[in-house]
C-alpha cells in the first residue's frame, strides 16, 4: 500500500470516529450540527470554547454530551460572585487528626470542565483559569501538577442580565480558541423536543461511542493535516487584515493566527481530509477571530465584530489550492490569459503555469481561446474582458465556469452553436496557434 493510500485511509478513519461522536451528541442537542461539529473540532485541536447565548438553549448539555460521547471525565463549576480560586484549582486542606495538610485537587482536574456563567465570578477567580487554559498545568503549594490530557474548558455566559457581572478581560478572551452561539431551534426541532423528552432527558441514556485510543488517534490525525505555504499565507493575511481595518482598534495577535490554523486542521480532519482547504479557513475564521478584536467606538456606534470579519473575508484574495495549484483554481491563470489576449503583452506566468500557452495577439480569437482555456480547466474563469471597436466599453464579469462559457457565446453574438462550439462545451474553440494563422492571413 502506497503512502497516499495510507494517508487517505487514516483520514477516513478519523472522519468515521468524528461523525459517530457528532451523531451521538445530536441525540441530545438536535438541529445544531454545525455548532456540534465546531465544538468537537475545538476539543480535538486542544483549544477551549466560549458559548455565549441566552439561558435554556443547551449550553450545558453540549458540554456534558460531548464528554460522555468521547468517554472523558467531566466536571462542572458554577461561577458566582463569591467563588474563590481554591474552589476551582484546589489547595491544601488541614487534617486535624495529625495536624498535616493534604493537597486536594479541585474540579479543574478533568478532561472537560464546564465553567458555567463564567462572567459572574470576580476577576480573581477568573484568573485562576489562565494558567491551566494556556499551559495545561496548575501550581499548588509550590508544586506544578499537570492536568489530564485532553483538557478543554467549555465556558458559558449570558448576554442578558449583566448586572453584577464581570466582563472577561481581553487577555482571557484570547485564550478561548472559538466563541459560539447556539441560537434558538427551528419550529420542527422544538416540537420534537416535546416528544423526545417526555419521560427523561436523552443525556441520561447517552453512551460513549469511542473505544480506547480512538479519540487519541483523532487528535493525532488533526496534527498530521497539512497546510501548504499558500494557505498559510492566506491565514496570515486574514489576521493581518484585522490589524489594519479602520473599524478595528486592536486586531488579532499571532495567537489568533495559530488558533485559526489549528481549528482549520481539526475541522478538516473531522471531515476526512488530509489537507486544509481555503474554504475551511473561511468557515472557521469568524468563530476564531471575532472575539479577539476590539472594535472602534462604543455602544450603537460600534460595528458587530462578526460583520467586520466577514467583510475582511470577502476582500481577501483566494489562495492557492491545498495541493499547491493555482488559486481557486484558475482565477490567476485566466487573468493572465485574458490580460495577454487583450493587451498583447506577455506577463509573468503564475507558479505552475510554465507550460500554459499565452496568446500574444490582440484579436477576438485570442480572447476566445483564453476564455476557452479558463472554462476547460477550472470553475473560476477570471474576471473581466473588454470588447473591441464599438464594444470596447462593454464589460462582462463572470467568476465561474458557466460564466466563461456564457462569455464565449456572448463574444460571438450568440452564434456559438453555429460556430461548432456548443453552449456548454468550449473545447472545440480554436487554440492560439490557429488564431495566429488567421491573423497572419
Question: Where do the structural domains in the chain lie, given as residue ranges?
Answer: 3-220, 225-324, 331-440
What integer pLDDT is reported at residue 400 of this predicted model? 41
Per-residue pLDDT of 382-403, as tens digits, reads 333 333 333 333 333 333 445 5
Question: Average pLDDT over the chain, rounded to whole?
Answer: 75
| Mean pLDDT to the nearest integer, 350-359 | 38
The residue that leads in pLDDT, 166 or 320, is 166
**Start-to-end Cα distance in the chain:** 56
State how far the Cα of 50 lies from the Cα of 153, in Å rounded to an integer. Answer: 8
Above pLDDT 70, what percent of the chain? Answer: 69
CATH architecture classification, 3-220: 3-Layer(aba) Sandwich (3.40)
| Mean pLDDT to the nearest integer, 112-136 | 87
State how far the Cα of 250 lies from the Cα of 244, in Å rounded to an integer. Answer: 9
State how far the Cα of 131 lies from the Cα of 144, in Å rounded to an integer. Answer: 11
CA distances from 179 to 19, 185, 240, 293 (A): 22, 19, 20, 12
* CATH number, domain 225-324: 1.10.8.80
Task: Name the pLDDT band for 346 (thresholds 50, 70, 90).
Answer: very low
* Burial degree of 385 (CB within 10 A; 0-12, 13-18, 19+): buried
Per-residue pLDDT of 420-437, as tens digits, reads 333 333 333 333 334 434
Amino acid at each position: 500500500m502506497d503512502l497516499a493510500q495510507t494517508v487517505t485511509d487514516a483520514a477516513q478513519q478519523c472522519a468515521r470516529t468524528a461523525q459517530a461522536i457528532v451523531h451521538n451528541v445530536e441525540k441530545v442537542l438536535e438541529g445544531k450540527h454545525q455548532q456540534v461539529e465546531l465544538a468537537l473540532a475545538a476539543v480535538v485541536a486542544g483549544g477551549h470554547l466560549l458559548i455565549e447565548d441566552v439561558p435554556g438553549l443547551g449550553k450545558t448539555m453540549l458540554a456534558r454530551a460531548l464528554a460522555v460521547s468521547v468517554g472523558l471525565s467531566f466536571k462542572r463549576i458554577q461561577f458566582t460572585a463569591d467563588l474563590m480560586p481554591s474552589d476551582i484549582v484546589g489547595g491544601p486542606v488541614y487534617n486535624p487528626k495529625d495536624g498535616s495538610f493534604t493537597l486536594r485537587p479541585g474540579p479543574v482536574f478533568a478532561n472537560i470542565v464546564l465553567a458555567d456563567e463564567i462572567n459572574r465570578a470576580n476577576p480573581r477567580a477568573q484568573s485562576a483559569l489562565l494558567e491551566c487554559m494556556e499551559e495545561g498545568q496548575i501550581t499548588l503549594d509550590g508544586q506544578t501538577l499537570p492536568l489530564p490530557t485532553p483538557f478543554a474548558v467549555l465556558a458559558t455566559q449570558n448576554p442578558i442580565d449583566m448586572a453584577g457581572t464581570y466582563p472577561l478581560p481581553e487577555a482571557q478572551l484570547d485564550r478561548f480558541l472559538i466563541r459560539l452561539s447556539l441560537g434558538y431551534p427551528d419550529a420542527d426541532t422544538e416540537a420534537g423536543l416535546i416528544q423526545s423528552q417526555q419521560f427523561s432527558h436523552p443525556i441520561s441514556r447517552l453512551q460513549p461511542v469511542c473505544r480506547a485510543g480512538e479519540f487519541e488517534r483523532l487528535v493525532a490525525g488533526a496534527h498530521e493535516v497539512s497546510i501548504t505555504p499558500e494557505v498559510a499565507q492566506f491565514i496570515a493575511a486574514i489576521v493581518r487584515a484585522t490589524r489594519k481595518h479602520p473599524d478595528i482598534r486592536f486586531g488579532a495577535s499571532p495567537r489568533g493566527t495559530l488558533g485559526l490554523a489549528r481549528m482549520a486542521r481539526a475541522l478538516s480532519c473531522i471531515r476526512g481530509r488530509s489537507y486544509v482547504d481555503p474554504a475551511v479557513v473561511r468557515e472557521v475564521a469568524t468563530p476564531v477571530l471575532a472575539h479577539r478584536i476590539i472594535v472602534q467606538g462604543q455602544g450603537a456606534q460600534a460595528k458587530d465584530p462578526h460583520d467586520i470579519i466577514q467583510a475582511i473575508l470577502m476582500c481577501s484574495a483566494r489562495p492557492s489550492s491545498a495541493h499547491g495549484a493555482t488559486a481557486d483554481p484558475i482565477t490567476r491563470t485566466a487573468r493572465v490569459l485574458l490580460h495577454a489576449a487583450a493587451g498583447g503583452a506577455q506577463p509573468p506566468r503564475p507558479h505552475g503555469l510554465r507550460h500554459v500557452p499565452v496568446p500574444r495577439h490582440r484579436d477576438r480569437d485570442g480572447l476566445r481561446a483564453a476564455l476557452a482555456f479558463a472554462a476547460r480547466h477550472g470553475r473560476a474563469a477570471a474576471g473581466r474582458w473588454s470588447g473591441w471597436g464599438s464594444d470596447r466599453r462593454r464589460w462582462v464579469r463572470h467568476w465561474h465556469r458557466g460564466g466563461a462559457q456564457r462569455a464565449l457565446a456572448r463574444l460571438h453574438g450568440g452564434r456559438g452553436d453555429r460556430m461548432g462550439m456548443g453552449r456548454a462545451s468550449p473545447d472545440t474553440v480554436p487554440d492560439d496557434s490557429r488564431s495566429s494563422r488567421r491573423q497572419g492571413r
